[in-house]
Amino acid sequence: MTEELPEPAVTVVREFFAALEIDAVDEALELLDPEIVWKNTSLPTIRGKDRVAMVLRGLDRPALGFWAEMHHIAADGDIVLTDRTDYLRFGPVRIGFWVTGTFEIRAGRIVLWDDHFSKGNVLRGTIVGVAKALTRR
């Protein structure tokens, strides 16, 4: 049986998340189109690689962290859908919340990053994260 290689669009998204997880922001930025549009549920849309870079570099601090647990990833041509749990770390507090993302890839670069999540799920993740941080002390 021949193992199928991942679609190029899926590979771009996987490499993007892998770079973010190891704080390789410059490598992650190389996978973004200069005209990228980054949308997050109920947050302002960020347009352009320079603005996205400001946000991602702002998270690149010792007290902060990001990683994602990818549950499902699928592509239809240059559109990639993700179902994942994102984790944010603020000092000792770790917040986990469910996210679905849509990525559009053009010429090997991400032109659209559109994440959807529930505010209630983020609030629950925050409460659980704070409670765990307090009980670890």
The domains of the chain, with CATH numbers, are: 8-136 (3.10.450.50)
- The pTM of this model reads 0.88
8 Å CB contact between 84 and 59: no
- β-partners of residue 122 are none
| Catalytic entry in 23, 33, 114, 115 | 115
Res 136 pLDDT > 60:
yes
* Cβ-based neighbours of 116, under 8 Å, separated by 6 or more: 41, 99, 100, 101
d(CA 69, CA 47): 26
Annotation marks residue 86 as catalytic: yes
Among 4-8, 59-63, 73-77, 96-100, the least confident range: 4-8
pLDDT value of position 58: 83
Q: Answer yes or no: 23 catalytic.
A: no
Q: Strand order of the sheet with strand 109-116?
A: 46-47, 32-40, 109-116, 93-106, 79-90, 64-76
Q: Is the pLDDT of residue 1 over 80?
A: no
pLDDT higher than threshold 70 for residue 133: yes
> 33, 50, 86, 114: which one is catalytic?
86
Six-digit token pair at 50? 């320079």
- In the predicted model, what is the mean pLDDT of residues 69-87? 97
